[in-house]
Amino acid sequence: MPLRHDFRERPPADVRVVVFGATGYIGRFVVKELVKRGYQVVAFCRERSGIGGRQNQDQVVADFPGAEVRFGDVKDVNSLSRNAFPQPVDVVVSCLASRTGGRQDSWAIDHQATLNTYTEGRKAGVAHYVLLSAICVQKPLLEFQKAKLAFEKALQADGEMSYSIVRPTAFFKSLGGQVESCRKGGPYVMFGGGTLASCKPISESDLARFIADCISDPEKRNQVLPIGGPGQAMSAREQGEMLFRALGRQQRMLSVPIALMDGPIALLEGLSKLFPGLQDTAEFGRIGRYYASESMLVWNAQDQRYDADATPSYGEDTLEQFFERVVRDGMAGQDLGDASVF
């Protein structure tokens, strides 16, 4: 089927968009934002969704008023052809991401399943593909980063289908994991004095709006788009200080030397060569160290440094507002999932 490039000339009500990863942390907001903008939205979901498969199909349908909800398996091309693309489609938005960051899971979801949505979407006439990636793929030391980059490369090589590759910085939820422990009197735990890594965190609703913009904004076409939230970049220490202000409590900071992570990781890596079942455990250790020591900002390869000024800002929601809200209302709706770093 020819790619449906004329979708840009049609009103949103005549543009069909399929969202994959629709029940994920960001995907839910993307579906609702696209519905609000008037697109024909198909939310493609697993038969059991949410953390631990807690949501059944009726609950998912009820969560997406105004969208057409379809169920299937992104790892099965026949399921995709039958359930996601039974009729022509204009745009795909992929918010797919491996739940754990483990090696097998990363290549199965971040690469192969995402590639399936691209190849089957192309057969259905998809002319534009919006990919939710991650800013950390700039320095690919982890399996999920390599898997994401492999798909980005395939998407960019198409030449006929246009794309928007969105690489956000940290999500609010990934910075909220210590709210409850600090509320109960525990210290805010950070590594290396809390100054090793910085980010420009972005809210789920602001990121959803940015992703939706990629469908209609010609300046976002065929672009790799790093994006952060409003304001200046913040270190882990500054985030902790902000949290204690929201709690109205005196600061309790605990700085852990980053080198303390290296020994256990090296041991696990060695053992995983003898016991392959430990490979993912070693990978989780590497993930933790990466996020403790690497900034979620644009990487200047020439100068070998992270550049906060070069990291675009977008939106209105601030981390301070987020902390104030979760201190008041709790972390409802902020499920951290199987790996809170994502």
79 is a domain residue: yes
* Confidence at residue 57, expressed as pLDDT on a 0 to 100 scale: 82
State the residue for tokens 């079942």.
277
Reduce the DSSP state of residue 11 to 3 states and report it.
coil
Give mean pLDDT, residues 168-197: 91
Reduce the DSSP state of residue 334 to 3 states and report it.
coil
Q: Can you give the CATH number for the domain in which 132 is found?
A: 3.40.50.720
In total, how many domains does the chain have? 1
192 is a domain residue: no
Mean pLDDT of the chain: 91
Contact residues for 175 (Cβ-Cβ < 8 A; gap 6+):
199, 201, 239, 319, 322
pLDDT at 53 over 60: no
The residue range of the domain holding 130 is: 5-171+202-227
Give mean pLDDT, residues 25-47: 94
Residue of higher predicted confidence among 272 and 113: 113
Which amino acid is residue 87, in one-letter code? Q
260 is a domain residue: no
179 is a domain residue: no
* The total number of residues written for the chain in this structure: 342
Any idea of the CA torsion for 229, 109, 111, 12, to the nearest 10 degrees? -60
Cα 115 to Cα 44, 148, 152, distances in angstroms: 15, 10, 9
Give mean pLDDT, residues 88-100: 94
* Confidence at residue 50, expressed as pLDDT on a 0 to 100 scale: 59
Reduce the DSSP state of residue 17 to 3 states and report it.
strand
pLDDT at 65 over 60: yes
To the nearest 10 degrees (0 to 180), the angle between helices 27-36 and 204-216 is 50
* Confidence at residue 334, expressed as pLDDT on a 0 to 100 scale: 52
240 is a domain residue: no
What DSSP letter does each residue of 227-251 carry, written as one string? EB-SS--EEHHHHHHHHHHHHT---
Give mean pLDDT, residues 233-245: 95
151, 166, 146, 70: which is closest to 118 by C-alpha?
151
242 is a domain residue: no
19 is a domain residue: yes
142 is a domain residue: yes
pLDDT digits 0-9 by tens, 265-322: 999 989 988 888 888 899 999 999 999 999 999 999 999 999 999 999 999 999 999 9
What DSSP letter does each residue of 289-321 carry, written as one string? HHHHHS-BSEEETTTTEEESTTS-B--S--HHH
Reduce the DSSP state of residue 98 to 3 states and report it.
coil
